[in-house]
Amino acid sequence: AQSVSQHNHHVILSEAASLELGCNYSYGGTVNLFWYVQYPGQHLQLLLKYFSGDPLVKGIKGFEAEFIKSKFSFNLRKPSVQWSDTAEYFCAVNGVDSSYKLIFGSGTRLLVRP
């Protein structure tokens, strides 16, 4: 069965610090990978996605992620965080089957201090 691991459950940073959130998945086949963000009290929004091609993908709000197939990883990065990046971040994967159902990691709560 597919699974997704996010190793950092809580991260606290000061503004302008760099961010890297880890994500590892277990699935040997072709995958689509996603990072979603959930701001306090809101629904999930897509930050970025990878499905093929360049393993370095850029998303909204200055976020990027790198797909490393040999490590089954899809880490999220941002060079300089802002207070407004305070949110919960979820990594997700779907296998290329007919259901397109997403398997989510447990999430990382990011707090950015002004």
Judged by the rule CB under 8 A, the positions of this chain that interact with other proteins are: 4, 6, 9, 32, 34, 42-46, 49, 51, 90, 92, 94, 98-107
Cβ 24 to other proteins shortest distance, Å: 14
Q: Is 4 exposed, middle or buried (0-12, 13-18, 19+ CB in 10 A)?
A: buried
Residue in the block written with tokens 């940073």: 13
Reported residue count of the chain is 114
Q: Which residue number, 41 or 114, has a Cβ lying nearer to other proteins? A: 41
Q: Which residue number, 19 or 36, has a Cβ lying nearer to other proteins? A: 36
Q: Which residues contact 83 (CB under 8 A, 6 or more apart)?
A: 15, 112, 113, 114
Cβ 84 to other proteins shortest distance, Å: 20
Q: Which residue number, 19 or 91, has a Cβ lying nearer to other proteins? A: 91
Nearest CA-CA partner of 110 in 24, 21, 1, 43: 21
101 touches 112 (CB < 8 A): no
Cβ 1 to other proteins shortest distance, Å: 8
Cβ 88 to other proteins shortest distance, Å: 9
